[in-house]
Amino acid sequence: MTNKLMKAACASGLLVGLAAFAAFKTSNDTPVKIADLKMPGGFTATIVADSLGPIRHIEANAKGDIYARKNFDPRRGGKGVFFLTDTNHDGRLDKKLAFGDYPGTGVKIKDGYLYSSSNSAVFRYKLDKNGQVIDPNKPETIVTGLLDKRNDNSKSLALDDQGNLYVTVGSWSDACRQPKSAIGIPGCPILDSAAGVWKFKASKQNQTYSDGVRFATGLKNVVGIDYNPVTKSVFAMPHGRSFDKQSGAFFVGQKSSELPAETMYELTQGLDAGWPFTYYDQQLKKSMLAPEYGGDGAKPGDSKFADPVISFPGHLAPNAILFYTGNMFPKRYKNGAFIAFHGRSVSPTRGYFVAFVPFVNGKPTGEWEVFADNFTGQDLEKPTGPYKYRPMGLAQGPDGALYVSDDFVGAIFKITYK
């Protein structure tokens, strides 16, 4: 996909203060491409944008335009928020407007504002009646000073219906070990500012840690988070830790590639998921004591730590969760959760797909299924070439379509049902 600078962007009238955007027009003669995804019958996927770079989370406004977050090296410069729209109504997002000189992951729309996070702060932009940012040069700073040590530093976002903003802060440490040791630090002081979800006021400016509440802890690195309007609660999916040679004999080899589980938690005030003191073993279906704190693969974890509502094979790397509230898809998908998995498991060999978890009465049924697969275009057990795409973010369009972003080349898929 080729882009050229739109010199007339300031006169287009699309946005007040448009001169602050970097504006690009995509080629109008590029057709919408049918994506070769494996999905249940009746579903079709098209590629509505491509070659955008390392796109992270996405959000759709009420008009069906897409806001996309981009991660990049700030030392090289760039823009971190894309506004993508279909100007000729051919199904392809043919115009891109870029603003925000910060990299990051999180993006949400709520009550007439676009919320966007860098790796250490959260900003919000006022939207006009068409869902477009009014002045990209003047965002409000909602939260600042969040921990950023460059590893597992994304700040994903969720907003509830009570005026609260939830921000994830990951841990740069895998196991909270003492320096040059296989022993865990007692109490893990990292937890005071990382490995959890913090709650802030969605409309209050210039908040810091001291203004917020550590809503949930013991979550190593949450990238996927969403508000469930049925249960009126937030669900989070942390990345599981890794094991290495320092973890002990039980945790090397096959077990290292299988454990721990990827997990989903329904968050409540004060919930503690147990990291770094425990991990969840999906094979035993229980929390186990971490090796840094005396675990050997057989000792259970402390019962004070919360169990997940559902677990998945290890190392799948859940990067987005979305509760589907639309009416386009069949009834069984209503109020269930879609999950974008960004990694690969070995038992079974799966990866780089979008899963679906049915919910009944606000609770997962205990079963999960692969919904959209073959993003890589490869046999994962015996790949014969480079991967094409890997799913990263999820968004629901106003018509009920499901959008999936890819952070490998920067494609956006639109999944519809007939």
HEC secondary structure over 370-391: EEEECCCCCCCCCCCCCCCCCE
Q: What percent of the chain has pLDDT over 70?
A: 93
Q: Is the pLDDT of residue 9 over 80?
A: no
Contact 325, 229 (CB under 8 A): yes
Domain covering 32-417, topology: Neuraminidase (2.120.10)
Residue 310 banded pLDDT, cuts 50, 70, 90: very high
Residue 97 has pLDDT above 70, yes or no: yes
Tell me, what's the pLDDT at 4?
35
Evaluated on CA atoms 245, 250, 253, 254, the torsion sign reads negative
End-to-end CA distance of the chain: 28
DSSP structure class, residue 256: H
* 25 has a pLDDT exceeding 80: no
> Residues 188-224: pLDDT tens digits?
999 999 999 999 999 999 999 999 999 999 999 999 9
Looking at the chain, the number of H-run helices and the number of E-run strands are 1, 34
CA 167, 221, 230, 131 dihedral sign is: positive
Q: What is the model's pLDDT at position 11?
A: 33
pLDDT band for position 347 (cuts 50, 70, 90)? confident
Taking the C-alpha atoms of residue 105 and residue 225, their distance in angstroms, rounded to an integer, is 12
Are the C-beta atoms of residues 218 and 195 closer than 8 Å to each other? yes
Pairing between β-strand 55-60 and β-strand 43-49 as defined by DSSP bridges: unpaired
How much is the pLDDT for 31?
72
Higher pLDDT, 392 or 347: 392
pLDDT at 10 over 50: no
Average pLDDT over residues 56-63: 98
Position 12 scores a pLDDT of 35
| pTM for this entry | 0.93
| CA gap 171, 221 in Å, rounded | 6
In the chain, domain spans: 32-417
Mean pLDDT of 54-62: 97
Q: Using CA atoms, how far apart are residues 2 and 395, in angstroms rounded to an integer?
A: 25
